[in-house]
Structure 1
Amino acid sequence: MNAHNHSQLQAVVFDWAGTILDFGSCAPMGAFVKLFEQFGIDITIAEARGPMGVAKWDHIKALGTLPRINAQWEAKHGYAFNDADADKLYEIFTPMNAASARDHADFIPGALEAVGVLRQRGLKIGSTTGYNRPIMEVVAPIAAAGGYAPDNLVCGGDLAEGRPSPLMMYRCFADLGVWPPHTVVKVDDTGVGLEEGLNAGTWAVGVAVSGNVNGLTLAEWHALDEGQQQERRARATAELEAAGAHYVIDSVADLPQVLEDIERRLQRGERPVVA
């Protein structure tokens, strides 16, 4: 195969939590709530989920500067939440999230099988995450022991800028030796994670049910009736499409069919368009 055949897919870059493992992206949630609790600040799970996908320092800064949370911080500490506070909380957060990630490391059903299909097709497997290196030093070995070892890993905090900038994707292109960008697909459960791919010129596939937008564990999802599932699926799909997803699927288990469609479009000369 021509290494840079412009009408053939070469690589898929996956996010981690909510995409490959940790159905519902639950590991960070409790950690964020507990973190702010330690400083006498009440935050909701919905608030904690808001900035999901960005690097964790940026996530903490975004939460601290939300008007409702910042007002609590000012009342308690006498000044507005600032970068130094974000630094302090980030130091505490990393081990908390690492411990939580260890407890939420189950693969999303069908993820390993889907990655296996991609490998058989000769695709490279890249990965980016909003998690920092210390957290991934816990998560990556657990995933590898279970059978998932992507060809590279780019973490939040590795580069000058994280999501939604394209820099982590550029690092993937370099690590994997793939170009042009339209021969690469980014798969993610967050809007900023999809934007990272779009800003780099790749196809973007959102996962609606397994990810942060739906925000339910596998057991909680299965406990819903069909109508409730459909309502939540539709809401998550709309949010990911608004972020620019070219396709939205329930989980990575559904990815192989989507890749076949992208390949057909590439052969017709189509290229990913940023909405």
Structure 2
Amino acid sequence: MIALAAFDMAGTTIDDRGAVYRALERAVVETGVPVAEQDLQAWMGTEKRAAITALIELGGGDPGAPADKVDAAFERFQTILHELYAAEPPVAVAGVPEAIARLRASGIRVALTTGFSRDVATAILDRLGWRVADEGAVCTVDALVCGDEVAQGRPAPYMIHRAMEATGVLDVASVLVAGDTVVDVRAGVHSGAGITVGVLTGKLGADAFSGLPCTVLGSVAEIPDHLATRRAD
């Protein structure tokens, strides 16, 4: 039986209309290197400083020269993302707040995991009226784990394990992980989660998850019914 559902944020539970992609690309391009679309996609879902470092290297640049290049690019990423969100605020993926409420009502704890730093993640949740452990919120989750709070971000499993720690879940086989990128799915697989789900609310189609040991669903909104069907079987 599933005790914890760990969901990615942008593209999975939150529709930011591709703002993270655009902000990350612009911040790296401003360092003087090109960003290939396939490289950008490969690093989506990861901790953003790690993504910036990798994308600069992939573009032929040196992330260590000058020494503050990555930190400066990360600050630009945050500034650009704030501007994009101010112009077009993120919204919940359709049906997701209701799905989260259904899961929690059934006794399943829900955590959000993200490659954002906590200040960025909480600012997004504040815009939506979502809260951690606040039953009076528009949408309530039980924990938030961010990429800068663990030793290594996705595809490492540590955010999922930290979510287990935060919610008191002991058995990783009782965890469901869902995300819209390949690194989200790989993190779920690496964690040993009982169920790993790739969702199609981001930039990827079902073929992107081909060959990975995961279930593909249209959206997190489908997960309560998916679990009910599994229990019936």
Q: Normalised by the size of structure 2, how large is the TM-score?
A: 0.86
Amino acid at match of 2:224: P
Question: Residue 110 in 1 paired to residue 90 in 2?
Answer: no
Alignment of 1:136-215 (within 5 A): 136-144=121-129, 147-202=138-193, 203-208=195-200, 210-213=201-204
Question: Residue 22 in 1 paired to residue 15 in 2?
Answer: yes
User: Residues 118, 151 of structure 1: CA spacing in aligned structure 2 closer, same or farther, 3 A cutoff?
Assistant: same
* C-alpha displacement of 1:180: 0.9
Q: Deviations over 1:214-255 (max 9, x none)?
A: xxxxxxxxxxxxxxxxxxxxxx2122243431x101111221
| Correspondence for 1:237 | 206
* C-alpha displacement of 1:120: 2.1
Measure, in 2, the Cα distance between the counterparts of 1:150 and 1:36: 32
Question: Residue 51 in 1 paired to residue 77 in 2?
Answer: no
Measure, in 2, the Cα distance between the counterparts of 1:36 and 1:142: 26
Alpha-carbon RMSD across the aligned residues, in angstroms, is 2.2
Question: Residue 253 in 1 paired to residue 221 in 2?
Answer: yes
* C-alpha displacement of 1:177: 0.8
* C-alpha displacement of 1:52: 0.4
* C-alpha displacement of 1:144: 2.6
Structure 1 runs (4+) greater than 6 angstroms displaced: none
* C-alpha displacement of 1:9: 1.6
Amino acid at match of 2:55: L
Task: Decide which moves more: 161-170 or 146-155.
Answer: 146-155
Kept after mapping to 2: 8 A contact 1:11/1:178: yes
Q: Report which of the two has the higher share of helix.
A: 1
User: Residues 194, 104 of structure 1: CA spacing in aligned structure 2 closer, same or farther, 3 A cutoff?
Assistant: farther
SS in 2 for 1:19: coil
Q: Greater Rg, structure 1 or structure 2? A: 1
* C-alpha displacement of 1:195: 1.7
Q: Deviations over 1:187-211 (max 9, x none)?
A: 1111111222221211101102x11
Amino acid at match of 2:207: A
Amino acid at match of 2:119: P
Identity fraction in percent: 27
* C-alpha displacement of 1:156: 0.9
Instruction: Report the count of equivalent residues.
Output: 223
Q: Deviations over 1:153-192 (max 9, x none)?
A: 0001111111111111111111111121111100111111
Q: Report which of the two has the higher share of strand.
A: 2
Q: Deviations over 1:77-133 (max 9, x none)?
A: xxx343733233123222322333453411111111211221221211111001111
Measure, in 1, the Cα distance between the counterparts of 2:140 and 2:159: 18
* C-alpha displacement of 1:148: 2.1
Alignment of 1:58-73 (within 5 A): 58-66=50-58, 69-70=59-60, 73=61
SS in 2 for 1:13: strand
